[in-house]
Structure 1
């Protein structure tokens, strides 16, 4: 295409564009017309559709409404029918329950009647004797056969002794044996003598036992055995055949109401024994039970697990029936007990071992007040005793046999399990093994529920910066310038309450029925499991069962993991937070802090928490002292009597220092609880810097005015179980809790009062005084005759008026005497337990318990009682009094009686009451012949005893300490078993060692200076306990094969033998005595140093050991201490600077060399 052509084309296009607008205007008009038509059609169509939909919906809704109304009518009809059915069902259910109860009663009555009939049937055969396998003859004379039997066995049987003799029909008609002969004698005595003679004859003639030739029966020299036995009923015959070597069918033993578990002797290593053998346990089929074969040993023991249900809970109890044939040797017993220990690792709680142990060397004592176990020097029996104690078992059987022994034992850890003689027996009673009836009550302990309490302040999350800022802004000198001390203390508390309410958060206190290691996730899953369990019980769906099993396994796993993690955290914090660790451990012990749901005071019982608190209030209420005792007190005579103790200086005033107050506040133990004012020590410690000033003002104002604040005189008392029946409130002792402010106040005043009284305190008083203890009391006493007198609540019955008069005589006067009088008078207390509280009660006499000043004031009150002893030597520990005199003639007894009368007069004049039930006397002597004298107190004879428990040590007449040794070993073994059972989740050996030192070794070393044994056999018994622990410790770290010997284990765990530790304790006691760390001048005077006349050529012993004539005297306290130190005097310096230095020297010399 050329250029001109392209130009023409462009121009033509331009022309076309010029004419286009006219056509555009016509198309727009057409579009508008079409659009209007379409809109109109759509509108008509939508209107029609809406009308159609509305009509259709209304029609459907009307139909649906009619159907709903019809359904409601149907539901109403069904509901009415269901209600009628439900009423009928409930009526039938109640009737069925009544029928079931009556049926159970009838079955119970039938069982009782059946048992009685069987008992009557067996008793009717008590005179009968059965002869089996005696050949029959038409011409036989049964009476002559019996007479001939008597001649053979050596028993004269007269015709008059035979009431009847005849043959009885066979039970099995197809049996080839002859019919049995039943001989009825005129008395059981004749029957028993014949039976005993037969047994004796057969044992004496094992190769020629009773046979037909002895009775003149039989021909051609054919001897057939003849059997003579009791005439048992068919049921008893079947039962007696239960455990013989040749077993019979189960159906022959019990009927189909029982599951019978048996173990015959042929399954054990004792199958060579021919007499008796085998054990059997029968359990009713209504009780879920099963045999556990993997628990059985090679002895004759049978283990059956029984699931007992009670109140929607199931207790799994492991029963063991065992028979140990005599003579029981050590190896046999150790095999069985070792297997039991392995079983107990899998089944820790609720176990019961029943069987014949044939150990007559143990004198079992089930009394709670006496020694629980006594072993008569039998090593085999001691193994059983250690097993019982270490596994927390109790020997429940106290039924003696005809030889006054207990061979059949019931070893159980079931609470309140009781054993009694069974009178409804199924067989004749064997005198050596009386039948037993074991009663296992409800094992679920009903405890008193905790009362829902109000919200408490969480002082550990308080804003102490704001509190200190608020307290520092108070002008205390202006606020507390009042003369009234009580009003001053009230204003002080108002400021504290305001600060606490504004800056201390509240926390809700609610009782948690789950343990502390159960977290929120576990609780949620447990609730899900309970819901699923209800659904499964309701619908019995197989899928629900599968889901329930999976959820139960999951709950068990996460609970186990949470418990292991909790124990691990406790173990890590044992040094940082020991309170949490010991709280957890104490909850595992048998006597927890929970109170029973029902409690009594010997007169009435109650289940109400508030009423129980008031019962405790009445029990703890301190007895009032008669005013006549106070009025008759002669101050002039008292001053004359105590004049030799020292000159009395007036002590009128005390002023406390603010720095001392600050130091006391900073040293408070924040783990302790709050007092009655609900302000804990942590609050005082955190605000100590700013509370020191107001407390300084209050304390000094109180001392100057002679008024002790009334609010600080109130005490909160918590009952603590002592022992015995936990439902009896008389078996509880009160623990008094005072305000922390009051205790800080007393801690400042007490040292000054003690310092003033120190010149008057008698050297015979060893209680509540620095440098004196139970050990110093006992070591000065243990070789003398004593009369032990224990007063009845002396600390609680001190008359306040007499005490104030004595304070005045000792030099207290002015405001200080007035302050002490105010401190004692108008005190009150109330009892709290599980959130419940009693009324408040006034205390009319006694020393404030739980205080610092109380013990000092009591020592001051009782101090002059030593003046009563003109002819004997007294020994005091607080209110425990004993006095001794060597009795060489009747005159000495008269003089001792004179001192007893003088003590009685002192108690009467000082308003004290003696508990005559606890007053006793004991004669210490190693002679067979001694002067016999009866002593009296207030006209009543004093009870003489063979042994007495004095300050935790049991003293016998010969001072052998064997009774105390047995008790100590029993307690230590029991605690060792507790540790071994509860420490399985702890991983670190250090934790187990801490528990052992606190719970076991403390028993073995308490006052060991006094009772330390010197015979090797006794030391070995003590050492055996630690050997058992060291094996357990090495087993816990899987090193029993590496650490083989006891010495290797001690070295690995850095421990010492108990004997070496007793050497350490003895030398430390001697060191403290010579360095005046102990205030015991009487005993110190018996320690003599060797002072040579000239310089010796060789080393000499520094101490002079007293000469003695007997082994007993040579091993008494003073000679033993002197000889022990002389032995190591070259390497151990008694003049070491500090106790720690001396202790390290002893450890390096003695302990590290063992």
Structure 2
């Protein structure tokens, strides 16, 4: 049965059209000429194909006497029929809608239809000879040309084995698939094909529909994302081949939506016509059965659409039915006439026939740059003898190193001796790495498949096809066996969490993450060196020109009006113990900076390394010199969002030397300790500081908002976004500000040296750019850079006297409270502070990204404010994405719940589909999926019950899938079997632990709503363990974290409230919350009703 399905698909069925020679009369008799690419088969039979006259024909099942087809003999000069009644040359060709055709009536200028609808038992008979010849005609003749296979899959996931067989046997350059039925839960890796790059477009807001396109890795392709080509369920891909640019699109239109779709389709065709491409092709399932594409004509409602095609010069090339008697799968072409378009049999599992279209675009004879392997130089640290490295390092000559006062000389000796040891024990190796993901087919199996494929095309023996399918099946089984074995080994290993997450990362990231091409101002960049230079030029363009004039030595006082701190810091004391402890915290990584030394060397090179570094660090600080060898950093472009072909959609990540990072860590820790002890850093800043995080920023912000709304005040929040903030820090202004904050030489001089005279090199694989100077900014990716930026904008809060600012790094929001009847005066107050903000940004050479700035009002959805920043109007925001949290003015956080559940469902589906071992699935769920549902958990208390149930449904689904549908236990019982806590229990534990940390000042919080009760309270015995409770007037405030968990805290037993550490508190709390009596006492009847839903 499988062989029958395969053979029925792999044989093209109906040749639809080949462009005729211009000016030739279609009724002129033409001699039958054998195509150069056709040869005799084993039976000595050939197929009469004049290459320039393939137009239209019918199915082999419609031929009355198939045996006539076998009576073809080869003449020396031409092909003729051996039947006495030769075909009449001028007979009118039969259309595809005719029910039958006799071979004797067939026009010599019209090819016979060679299909696969004949019974399976006839496949080995002589009529099949013509079938194989037609297949061989298409494959061999167009093997050197770009051709497209169009498939309506009706769910692509269960068609992947068939698609893999298709790519192994035919290796089509382009595969276009509609009705993929993919959704966000399906990862890219799950639909990837070996040796192909794919692009997808899923249906938004539901399942079904969707488009998918596969391209051979040898093709240079990129996705086109354009706001003008915005048809739903449509995908566009650029193809660059032999100095020819083509745009290939895939679209799916659901039935019954043409009235809404027509305008978008016409506008898209008009836009496409104007685009500067050599050729444009639009493929897909358009569900237009009423149009007769032979003429073409149709009902009146299609007149505008058909007229547009004619006016714009678009041609639809498929005229033979692709589903039943209807032509649904279409190929529109502009500025190109296909060499041939064939309609095959139904794709297995689908009721649509496949369409193959050959384009007059020759494939490159030279290998594309994307198929070129890159050479990577590396050290194999996994087999290193670190004891030998330690011994060689200790026996090296260090006399001059410890006696010299020249930092440069000391560094030269250090790196010279280190590299000698590494080269002797772990020599450099060269590895050829393909930019494409590793094939899942082993070389031996690939060679076998290639041999079978060659044999199949040579002899057309379906026994060979069966062997191909058997080989593919064995490859899949072997792959499953390897995956199961890999999972069992990982589960049994001591570090099983790390091992399993690495397996998950590997299985999720098969997709190629290289940057094959970029488009810059219409210019295509495909060479790796050119791409590096383009990135280097773009990133360097973000920097400012160096300042030539210093501001007043105390510019901070102009805005802040605060006295300078008398406390100063001028040096850092480096010790062996601190350096050793910092090295121990390094992550083991093979990556390295421009000095070529990875973290492995520092971690495992022996106890002498901290002593050697102590010499370098001390000398560097004393001489106020940051080593020149550390000033050049590698830049790794990291994609942010949007099209990957646009260079503006990347941000730079600096790869700095490991030794530099160790020293920066020590300097940063001492600086932060000094700044916090002197209260220099604003309490409104939550970024890059110990005990502060996104969570503490959200807590303070929403506590302010909910308490203000509880007092019936309206809350206006303005969101600011600083453009290229880290890259536009002026070095002279920064050092001036550091001086005003009490940082003195030699530390200040060292920081100046750290900032100045730096350069960057963009690195992609083995390709690099030329060094480019860094004239401004703090180094993104460095250790101390974020702290320097924090100090640079530390005085930004001085701009606001009426509003309350909340800052995380460069993300700033300012909250104002007001009454509705005071709107006019309030708007003026806010505008004055916005003007002060604009003046501050001008003073410090920072600019706002006005497209990302805006405001939202809690409590007055219809209020309209006219606010401007830097002469630009601020827009009202309906929804906000703030530090990973999504919310709107109703503060129900439904948007956040939807986002969290979608991400976790997608990852969970990937784990369930790609892992076999149940224990591995359970570990990965707890490690990777559950944390996605537990980001910022304190806001869940403010969500609706249905949103809580929506989050709980993720774990409910997982437990049922893991135990199987035969398990009749309820949700709570399933959790007990798997030793899982319900999500609501985990949120309760996590929130109480966070409450404990804030209460004991382990986590920072600027609000005073979480604090121990004051003396004189009603219960003096418990005054040191109970917290202050707050009254409330609204449900919003009642359900908020500070109010709700203050009550829960006070209800905890005394021995738990008086725990001295987080560990003991967590342990005691866990025991308590697994007590049924306490749970029943803790929750209200309304919440108990929700728990009933949880447990079913």
- Residue-by-residue CA offset, 1:24-43 (whole Å, 9 max, x unaligned): xxxxxxxxxxxxxxxxxxxx
The Cα of 1:1096 is off from its aligned counterpart by 8.2
1:790 aligns with 2:718: no
1:825 matches 2:756:
yes
Larger deviation, residues 448-457 vs 863-872: 448-457
SS at match of 2:651: strand
d(CA) in 2 for partners of 1:898, 1:815: 41
- Counting only pairs closer than 5 Å after superposition, residues 339-418 of structure 1 correspond to structure 2 as 401=257
Does 884-893 or 1099-1108 show the bigger shift? 1099-1108
Task: Out of 536-545 and 582-591, give the one that drifted further.
Answer: 536-545
Instruction: Kindly state the Cα deviation for residue 831 of structure 1 after the two structures are TM-superposed.
Output: 1.9
Report the counterpart of residue 387 of structure 1 in structure 2: none
Aligned residues of 2:151 and 2:178 also touching (Cα < 8 A) = no
Q: Is 1:1108 aligned to 2:1032, yes or no?
A: yes
Which of 866, 873, 876 is the aligned partner of 2:804? Answer: 873
Shift of 1:949: 0.9
CA shift in 2, pair 1:515/1:826, >3 Å: closer
C-alpha distance in 2, partners of 1:571/1:638? 57
Question: How many aligned residue pairs are there?
Answer: 830
Deviation of 1:873 after TM superposition, in Å, equals 0.8
State the shift of 1:768 in Å.
0.6
User: Aligned to 2:495, what secondary structure does the other structure show?
Assistant: coil
For residue 724 of structure 1, report the CA deviation from its aligned partner. 2.9
Query: Alignment partner of 1:1024: what SS?
Result: helix
SS in 1 for 2:1057: coil
Match of 2:538 in 1: 619
Relative distance call for 1:962 and 1:258 in structure 2 (3 A) is: farther
Query: 1:744, CA displacement in angstroms?
Result: 1.0
Which residue does the alignment assign to 1:898?
Answer: 832
**1:1022 match:** 951
- Cα RMSD of the aligned pairs, angstroms, is 5.3
* Structure 1 residues 799 and 1020, CA gap change in structure 2 (3 angstroms): same
Q: CA deviation at 1:503?
A: 2.7
- Residues 34-57 of structure 1, C-alpha deviation per residue, up to 9 Å, x if partnerless? xxxxxxxxxxxxxxxxxxxxxxxx
Matched, 1:1135 2:1078: no
Match of 1:265 in 2: none
Kept in 1: contact 2:975–2:982 (CA 8 A): yes
User: Structure 2 CA distance, aligned partners of 1:296 and 1:455?
Assistant: 38
Give the TM-score, by structure 2 length.
0.66
Please tell me whether the aligned partners of residues 448 and 609 of structure 1 are also in contact (alpha carbons under 8 angstroms).
no
CA contact (8 A) 1:904 1:938 kept: yes
Could you say which residue in structure 2 is the equivalent of 1:636?
554
Secondary structure at the aligned position of 1:656 is classed as: coil
CA distance in 2, matches of 1:988, 1:937: 56
Asked whether the 8 Å contact 1:613–1:836 carries over to 2, the reply is: yes
Instruction: Judge conservation of contact 2:152–2:285 (CA < 8 Å) in 1.
Output: no
Distance in 2 (alpha carbons) for counterparts of 1:1097 and 1:663: 43
Unaligned runs of 5+ in 2: 1-32, 40-46, 59-94, 100-111, 119-137, 140-147, 209-223, 231-249, 263-281, 293-297, 306-326, 332-354, 358-362, 706-714, 1077-1094
d(CA) in 2 for partners of 1:636 and 1:352? 56
Instruction: Establish whether residue 662 from structure 1 lines up as the match of residue 605 from structure 2.
Output: no
Unaligned runs of 5+ in 1: 1-89, 112-234, 240-254, 262-284, 323-335, 361-365, 373-393, 407-415
**8 A Cα contact 1:718 1:735, kept in partner:** yes
Q: Which residue is 2:924 aligned to?
A: 995
Which of these residues, 551, 565, 568, is aligned with residue 485 of structure 2?
565
2:682 to 762, 766, 771: 762
Shift of 1:705: 0.2
Corresponding residue for 2:321?
none
Q: After superposing the two structures, state which structure 1 stretch, 1044-1053 or 775-784, moved more.
A: 775-784
1:1089 to 1013, 1024, 1038: 1013
Query: 1:476, 1:693 within 8 Å by CA — same for their partners in 2?
Result: no
In the alignment, the residues of structure 2 paired with residue 236 and residue 546 of structure 1 have an alpha-carbon distance, to the nearest angstrom, of 32
Moved more, 951-960 or 615-624: 615-624
Question: Residue 36 of structure 2 aligns with which residue?
Answer: 93
1:552 Cα deviation from its structure 2 partner: 6.3
Shift of 1:844: 1.1
User: TM-score, normalized by length of structure 1?
Assistant: 0.63
Report the equivalent of 2:938. Answer: 1009
Q: Which of 1069, 1072, 1090 is matched with 1:1146 structurally?
A: 1069
1:920, distance to aligned residue in structure 2 (A): 0.9
What is the CA–CA distance in structure 2 between the aligned matches of 1:952 and 1:358, rounded to whole Å? Answer: 24
Match of 1:1078 in 2: 1003
> Are the aligned partners of 1:656 and 1:700 in contact in 2 as well (CA < 8 Å)?
yes
Assess, with a 3 A threshold, how the Cα gap between structure 1 residues 106 and 751 changes in structure 2: closer, same or farther.
Answer: farther
Checking the alignment, whether the CA contact within 8 Å between 1:635 and 1:805 is kept in structure 2 is yes
Contact 1:1090–1:1102 (Cα < 8 Å) also in 2: no
Secondary structure of residue in 2 paired with 1:1081: coil
Q: Is the 8 A contact 1:829 1:840 kept in 2?
A: yes
Q: Of the candidates 800, 810, 815, which is equivalent to residue 746 of structure 2?
A: 815
1:893-927 CA-to-partner distances (Å, cap 9, x unmatched) read 111111111111111111111111111111111x4
Distance 1:651-1:103 versus aligned 2 partners, 3 A rule: farther
Residue of structure 1 in register with 2:30 after alignment: none
Pair 295,606 (structure 1): closer, same or farther in 2 beyond 3 Å:
closer
What is the CA–CA distance in structure 2 between the aligned matches of 1:605 and 1:295, rounded to whole Å? Answer: 32
Instruction: Check whether the contact 1:476–1:694 (CA below 8 A) recurs between aligned residues.
Output: no
1:167 aligned partner: none
The equivalences for 1:1049-1068 within 5 A come to 1049-1068=974-993
For residue 686 of structure 1, what is the aligned residue in structure 2? 604
* 2:310 matched residue in structure 1: none
Q: Does 1:467 align with 2:467?
A: no
CA contact under 8 A between 1:622 and 1:846: conserved in structure 2? no
Matched, 1:523 2:523: no
Deviation track 1:615-647 (CA, whole Å, cap 9, x = no partner) reads: 22223336232455x726332342465574762
Which whole-Å CA distance do the structure 2 matches of 1:1022 and 1:1047 have between them?
Answer: 15
Contact 2:594 2:629 survives alignment (8 Å): no
The answer to whether 1:860 aligns with 2:779 is: no
What secondary structure sits across from 1:848 in the alignment? coil
> Cα 1:900–1:1086, aligned 2, differ >3 Å: closer, same or farther?
farther
SS of the residue 1:886 aligns to: strand
2:736 pairs with 1:805 = yes
CA distance in 1: counterparts of 2:786 and 2:399, whole angstroms:
34
Contact 2:155 2:179 in 1 (8 A): no
Summarize the Cα distance change of 1:826–1:999 in structure 2 as closer, same or farther, 3 Å threshold. Answer: same
Relative distance call for 1:107 and 1:937 in structure 2 (3 A) is: farther
- Work out whether residues 715 and 737 of structure 1, in 8 Å CA contact, stay in contact via their aligned partners in 2: yes
The secondary structure found in structure 1 opposite 2:831 is helix
1:655-1054 → structure 2 map (5 Å cutoff): 655-671=573-589, 673-758=591-676, 759-782=679-702, 783=705, 784-888=715-819, 889=822, 890-925=824-859, 927=860, 930=863, 932-983=864-915, 986-989=916-919, 991-1035=920-964, 1040-1042=965-967, 1044-1054=969-979
Going from structure 1 to structure 2, the CA distance change for 1:354 and 1:637 (only over 3 Å counts) comes to closer
Q: Which SS does the other structure have where 1:875 is aligned?
A: strand
Change in Cα spacing, 1:358 to 1:488, as seen in structure 2 (3 Å) is: closer
Q: Report the secondary structure of 2:431's partner residue.
A: coil
d(CA) in 2 for partners of 1:626 and 1:354? 45
Give me the whole-angstrom Cα distance separating, in 2, the residues matched to 1:1134 and 1:1005: 24
Give the deviation of 1:790 after TM superposition: 0.8
- Report the Cα offset of residue 1070 of structure 1: 0.8
CA distance in 1, matches of 2:205, 2:817: 47
Over 3 Å counting, the alpha-carbon distance change for 1:1020 and 1:1090 in structure 2 is: farther
- Deviations, residues 1100-1151 of structure 1 (Å, cap 9, x unaligned): 993343222222221123212223323x423662331211211122222225
Equivalence for 1:609: 528
Match of 1:168 in 2: none
Q: CA deviation at 1:292?
A: 12
- Contact map agreement 1:396 1:419 (CA 8 A) in 2: yes
1: CA distance between counterparts of 2:890 and 2:464? 73
Are the equivalent residues in 2 in contact too, given 1:289–1:305 (CA < 8 A)?
no
* In structure 2, distance between residues paired with 1:296 and 1:486: 60
- Pick closer, same or farther for the CA change 1:417–1:294 going to 2, 3 Å: closer
Change (3 A) 1:789 1:437: farther
Residue by residue over 1:293-336, the C-alpha shift from the partner in whole angstroms, topping out at 9 and shown as x without a partner, is 99999xxx9x99998659943799998799xxxxxxxxxxxxx9
Report deviation, 1:105: 8.3
